[in-house]
């Protein structure tokens, strides 16, 4: 990405390096959020068996309509 968009010149100055680190941080935030949501989902259902968890996922995806 850095080479593709010509951001290599940013690395020559301190502020440019800070901007590149900020860009990398911002790109990683969506993945971090998905991982946190997944772990929170698993933690809330710690005492349930696999069938109950699968039913919870099905209800969440279909809005509770599993007819």
20 neighbors 2 (Cβ within 8 angstroms): yes
Question: Per residue, what are the HEC states of the chain?
Answer: CCCCCCHHHHHHCHHHHHHHHHHHHHHHHHHHHHHHHHHHHHHHCCCCCHHHHHHHHHHHHHCCCCC
48 neighbors 55 (Cβ within 8 angstroms): no
Report, as an integer, the average pLDDT of 16-27: 91
Check whether 65 has a pLDDT greater than 80. Answer: no
Position 8 confidence tier, pLDDT thresholds 50, 70, 90? confident
Report, as an integer, the average pLDDT of 48-56: 86
20 neighbors 11 (Cβ within 8 angstroms): yes
What's the pLDDT score for residue 57?
A: 84
Share of the chain above pLDDT 70, in %: 91
What's the pLDDT score for residue 67?
A: 54
What's the pLDDT score for residue 60?
A: 84
């Amino acid at each position: 990405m850095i080479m593709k968009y010509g951001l290599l010149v940013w690395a020559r100055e301190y502020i440019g390096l800070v901007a590149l680190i900020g860009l990398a941080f911002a790109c990683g935030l969506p993945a971090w959020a998905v991982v946190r949501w997944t772990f929170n989902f698993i933690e809330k259902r710690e005492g349930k068996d696999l069938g109950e968890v699968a039913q919870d996922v099905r209800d969440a995806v279909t809005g509770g309509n599993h007819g």
